Amino acid sequence: MSRVESLIERAMAPLSQAVDCARLPGGVLGLVDRDGNRAVRVLGAAQLTPERRPMRQATWFDLASLTKVLFTTERILALAEAGTIDLDAPLISVLPDFRQYNPDNWERRITFRQCLGHQTPFPAVFPLYTYGRDPDLLRAFVLQHEWPAGPAVYSDINFILLGLALERLEGRSIRAMNPGTGFAWSADPAQAAATEQCTWRNRLLVGEVHDDNCAALQGAGHAGLFGTVDGLLDFAVGKLATTAPDALIRTPVSARRTHGWERPHDGWSGGERCSADTIGHTGFTGTGLWIDFARGHAWTLLSNRIHPTRHFDSGIFALRRAVGDLINAD
């Protein structure tokens, strides 16, 4: 048995228990090393209602906030490397109309780097979708709303703004942009893991974005990407193979974050046994990806933990940590 096979076998125990206890409908666990050796395990159901479908290795998942690192961070950092934007310049260098009616407001000083690292005063959550369903009007709302300033927290607003900057630079909507090899902005419902019975769209969401604000905006920088376990592992191999240890995705901007990604800290989703040179990110729908550069491997845990509702304790937070600890036990 190969090393990746042995590691994934022992890491399957908590996922199997979660599915057996009906805390998750199903899940997919994937592990890959720097040389591209991979192992994948699949359990449970991709959908429970109104009909049951089995989970498969080829199942597409709504990756939710993994969009932030797999798409938006990649695009922003590429533009910075090309000299198109300056990470330490304010967003108004691309979005001059941001809070244009109050030139002295704090929002107009927020930089690209601060947004990437969630080092801004924007609120953690905000229900944009309750303000209407016209995507152009909602974009104007984001740019002109008087945002309450608070402590620096993880906020979707940071990446919604980065997405607006991408749209302005490219002259097209995010959904018209190439999402990257192995990724998409939607999925065939027959091949996708179901998410939630949405209370305002009045339907079960399968193959269409779950995130409320992303749906109302019809594409955004903080959510909306779909992918499979193999697409995520392919992405991770590309990062593991890089020869640039000072890449910005590995460069801290705070005790908990790099540019776009999260880094190890007490209680973080990757567990306690990964190396200090690890980055990771999770998605609300039950997804996650972690890349340990020192150990030379990466793992992804994909689940449909909010199907058919988010209002249930799936145990996903403890599950992620348990899987990470078992993968990195030696």
Instruction: Return d(Cα 220, Cα 287) in angstroms, integer.
Output: 18
Closest by CA position to 326, among listed 121, 23, 29, 26 = 29
Q: Where are the beta strands (DSSP E) in the chain?
A: 26-33, 38-47, 53-54, 61-62, 183-184, 194-198, 203-206, 226-227, 278-283, 287-292, 297-303
Instruction: Return d(Cα 259, Cα 68) in angstroms, integer.
Output: 10
Residues of the chain with pLDDT below 50 are: none
Question: What is residue 330's predicted lDDT score, i.e. its pLDDT?
Answer: 79
Query: Which pair of tokens denotes residue 212?
Result: 């409320």
Residue by residue, DSSP assigns 115-143 as HHTT-S---S---GGGG-S-HHHHHHHHH
Instruction: Return d(Cα 233, Cα 181) in angstroms, integer.
Output: 12
Bin 267: left if φ > 0, else alpha if -120 < ψ < 50, else beta.
left
For 155-181, the pLDDT digits (tens) are 999 999 999 999 999 999 999 999 999
Question: What is residue 56's predicted lDDT score, i.e. its pLDDT?
Answer: 98
Contact 98, 256 (CB under 8 A): no
Q: pTM for the whole thing?
A: 0.97
Question: What is residue 216's predicted lDDT score, i.e. its pLDDT?
Answer: 98
Question: What is residue 1's predicted lDDT score, i.e. its pLDDT?
Answer: 76
| Strand partners of residue 288 | 282
For 318-328, the pLDDT digits (tens) are 999 999 999 99
Contact 147, 107 (CB under 8 A): yes
